[in-house]
Structure 1
Amino acid sequence: MKSYNKSLKLPSRDLRSNMTDAEQLLWQRLRRKQILGLQFYRQKPILNFIVDFYCSAANLVIECDGGQHYTEVGLEADQNRDYALSELGLLTLRFSNHQILTEIDAVLDQIYWIVKQRLESP
């Protein structure tokens, strides 16, 4: 299990209760081991972050990005976060909320192929 800041436990529960429409849509397609029989977790604390979705078997983080992620401050924060997570061996996939809401099948195809590739790599 990846280490996390215990003070993020309650905020992560709150985020699970208040997911965005894009997060809810993606969660409906990730939950219950629908991709290659793998378990995904939502709003999972890792280090000092709460990631939108996490698959430990594939060392994969999936982020649903709203408008705040496309500001200068948001882009820099995401870059720092992705780097810190990559130091743990995690790959972060980012999708815009718009992309998830309008192209869910393409998003799921990309997740499937990345997961498959990561499971096949030594």
Structure 2
Amino acid sequence: MVNRATSLRRTTTGAEAKLWTVLRGARLNGWKFRRQHPIDRFVVDFACLKAKLVVEVDGATHGSPAERDRDAERTRVIEAAGFQVIRIGNTDIRDTLDGVLQSILAAVVGRDHV
């Protein structure tokens, strides 16, 4: 799983790279995020371990019925590990990054007691 996470870090999407520039180094109000972090049998896009929050970045392929089923199973497993999962679309990151960051910040603050 660690090898897969390392590989995914090398092949990041444009939206993931853009979001990572503002999440890395605890730049979001001091909240530390990890990129391509293993949880159970999955590697998640971003994880804030302190708040037990996962941020998944979804592209156009996540709209198909098969991908929605796969994402639902993935979310179920990650939530069973105690994490909340939020999904952000590539276009949202591209078009409304400030709004995306506000949503993520609200989620981590809301999970701070976990």
2:72 match: 79
Q: Is 2:13 the counterpart of 1:20?
A: yes
TM, length-normalised to structure 2 = 0.95
User: 2:77 aligns to what SS in structure 1?
Assistant: helix
Question: Deviation at 1:36?
Answer: 2.7
Runs of 5+ consecutive residues of structure 2 not aligned to the other structure: none
Measure, in 1, the Cα distance between the counterparts of 2:92 and 2:30.
24
**Identical residues among aligned pairs (%):** 34
Q: Is 2:109 the counterpart of 1:93?
A: no
Query: Which consecutive aligned stretches of 4+ in structure 1 deviate over 6 angstroms post-superposition?
Result: none
| Matched AA of 1:29 | V
User: 1:32 aligns to what SS in structure 2?
Assistant: helix
TM, length-normalised to structure 1 = 0.89
Measure, in 1, the Cα distance between the counterparts of 2:60 and 2:29.
31
Deviates more, 1:56-65 or 1:37-46: 37-46
1:19-58 paired onto structure 2 within 5 Å:
19-58=12-51
Question: Deviation at 1:64?
Answer: 0.4
Alpha-carbon RMSD: 1.0
Runs of 5+ consecutive residues of structure 1 not aligned to the other structure: 1-7
